[in-house]
């Protein structure tokens, strides 16, 4: 009887220590992965197919929409993005960010005035992105563009 008590006590002690080690491991492994594994890099250029160049009219801005992959740390999501695209020839195209360079409002093309117009504070931009009037401090930002045949691929936005 006296030999059973220490043995049972040792068993419970080992069981509790083992349980503690399991709980510690269950908490430490995710914490270590969070601290040691680097998040996916968002710095590599992601090219996205935005339009078919053969379907775009010459020298008339068109707003195109496309799915854009967004990487935020470990989270990857897809969002709808847009660009104003101007086809200047069969092999050249310019794609503008859809945000005004003043405070980021969405602007649009006004065909009768032959310019881009931002309704927030009335900035206007030429078809090549230059500021024509209003408080906008710089020309429209552009996407990096690449053509693969008739496919228009857009990269990151670069500030002019
Ligand atoms: Fe476009 Fe102010 S946000 S003019």
* Torsion of the alpha carbons at 108, 111, 117 and 119, rounded to the nearest 10: -70
% of the chain surpassing 90 pLDDT: 66
What is the β-pairing status of strands 62-72 and 75-89?
A: antiparallel
Quick check: CB of 83 below 6 Å from ligand 1? no
CA–CA distance, 111 with 100 (Å, rounded to integer) = 18
Quick check: CB of 21 below 6 Å from ligand 1? no
Query: So what's the pLDDT on residue 75?
Result: 83
Quick check: CB of 155 below 6 Å from ligand 1? no
pLDDT at 1 over 60: no
* Residue 48 tokens, joined: 């996205």
Quick check: CB of 106 below 6 Å from ligand 1? no
* Residue 8 tokens, joined: 């049972």
pLDDT at 71 over 90: no
Ligand 1 atom closest to 123 (CA): 4
CA–CA distance, 126 with 149 (Å, rounded to integer) = 28
Least confident of 41-55, 57-71, 84-98: 41-55
At residue 43 the predicted structure's pLDDT band, cuts being 50, 70 and 90, is low
At residue 84 the predicted structure's pLDDT band, cuts being 50, 70 and 90, is very high
At residue 144 the predicted structure's pLDDT band, cuts being 50, 70 and 90, is very high
Query: So what's the pLDDT on residue 121?
Result: 97
- 121 catalytic per annotation: yes
Query: So what's the pLDDT on residue 40?
Result: 62
User: What DSSP string describes 73-132?
Assistant: TTEEEEEEEEEEEEEEETTEEEEE-SB-TTT--B-EEETTTTEEE-TTT--EE-TTS-EE
% of the chain surpassing 70 pLDDT: 93
The closest residue, in CA terms, to atom 4 on ligand 1 is: 121
Query: So what's the pLDDT on residue 28?
Result: 93
- 76 vs 146, residue with greater confidence: 146
Q: What is the DSSP letter of 141?
A: P
CB atoms within 10 A of CB 87: 22
Q: What is the pTM of this model?
A: 0.73
The secondary element (H helix, E strand) that includes residue 65 is strand 62-72
Residue 88 has, within 13 A of its CA and on its CB side, a CA count of 7
């Amino acid at each position: 009887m006296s030999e059973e008590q220490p043995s049972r006590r040792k068993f419970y002690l080992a069981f509790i220590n083992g349980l503690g080690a399991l709980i510690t491991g269950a908490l430490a492994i995710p914490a270590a992965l969070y601290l040691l594994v680097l998040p996916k890099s968002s710095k590599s250029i992601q090219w996205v197919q935005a339009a078919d160049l053969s379907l775009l009219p010459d020298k008339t801005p068109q707003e195109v929409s496309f799915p854009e992959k967004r990487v935020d740390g470990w989270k990857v999501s897809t969002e709808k993005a847009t660009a104003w695209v101007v086809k200047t020839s069969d092999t050249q195209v310019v794609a503008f960010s859809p945000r005004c360079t003043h405070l980021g409002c969405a602007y649009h093309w006004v065909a009768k005035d032959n310019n881009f117009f931002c309704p927030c504070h009335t900035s206007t931009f030429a078809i090549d992105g230059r500021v024509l009037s209003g408080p906008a401090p710089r020309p429209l930002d552009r996407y990096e563009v690449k053509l693969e045949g008739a496919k228009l691929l857009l990269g990151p936005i670069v500030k002019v």
